[in-house]
Amino acid sequence: MKLSVLVNEGPYQHQSADSAIQFTTAALKKGHEIFRVFFYHDGVNNGTRFAVPPKDDRNITEQWTALSKEYNLDLVICIAAAQRRGILDENEAKRQGKDGHNMADGFRISGLGQLIEAGIQSDRLVIFGD
């Protein structure tokens, strides 16, 4: 079945980021297609490669990147939510005149239309948030 996932919280706000990645992993292992994972609100904080959690802490961003490599996942970060929180890819950094970019591998920045499309194209949309 074709599923999409919406993540509304970052790795350090609420358990929902952990729940989302575990659900996504389980769905992929069962052979379902994940059409898209959309990161909205504080969920965009899942996509910064500049976070350096202690070695004995889980690193959700690296887990998303690894999952995206293994399954060719479409990890989409909401542009408006990302700009507010300082999550930038190379293009956005250039466009906004910033001196660095922090988007992790496997993620891409796009708009809310991608969430709507995920809702329409997928059989189910599962929401994780606070």
Partner 1 sequence: MPMLHTVNKSPFERRTLDTALRHAVKGAAILLIEDGVYAAFDGTVVAEKVKSALKDHKIYVLGPDVAARGMSEHHVIDGLQVVDYGGFVDLVVEYDKVQSWL
Active-site residues, by number, are 78
The whole-angstrom distance between residue 76's C-alpha and the CA centroid of its chain comes to 6
Q: From the list 15, 91, 96, 121, which residue makes contact with partner 1 (rule: CB under 8 A)? A: 15
The residue (of 90 and 123) whose beta carbon lies closer to partner 1 is 123
Instruction: Decide if 126 contacts 1 (C-beta within 8 A).
Output: no
By CB under 8 A, the count of residues binding partner 1 is: 22
Q: SS3 of 119, please?
A: helix
Q: From the list 30, 54, 56, 97, which residue makes contact with partner 1 (rule: CB under 8 A)? A: 30
What's the farthest any 2 CA atoms get from each other in the chain?
A: 44
- Minimum CB–partner distance for residue 17 and partner 1 (Å): 11
**Contact flag: residue 55 with partner 1 (CB under 8 A):** no
Q: How far is CA 124 from CA 1, 2, 27, in A?
A: 8, 7, 12
**Contact flag: residue 32 with partner 1 (CB under 8 A):** yes
**Contact flag: residue 25 with partner 1 (CB under 8 A):** yes
Instruction: Decide if 102 contacts 49 (C-beta within 8 A).
Output: yes
Alpha-carbon distance of 73 to 51, in angstroms, equals 21
The residue (of 1 and 80) whose beta carbon lies closer to partner 1 is 1
**Residues binding partner 1 (CB under 8 A):** 1, 3, 8, 15-16, 19, 22-23, 25-27, 29-30, 32, 123-130
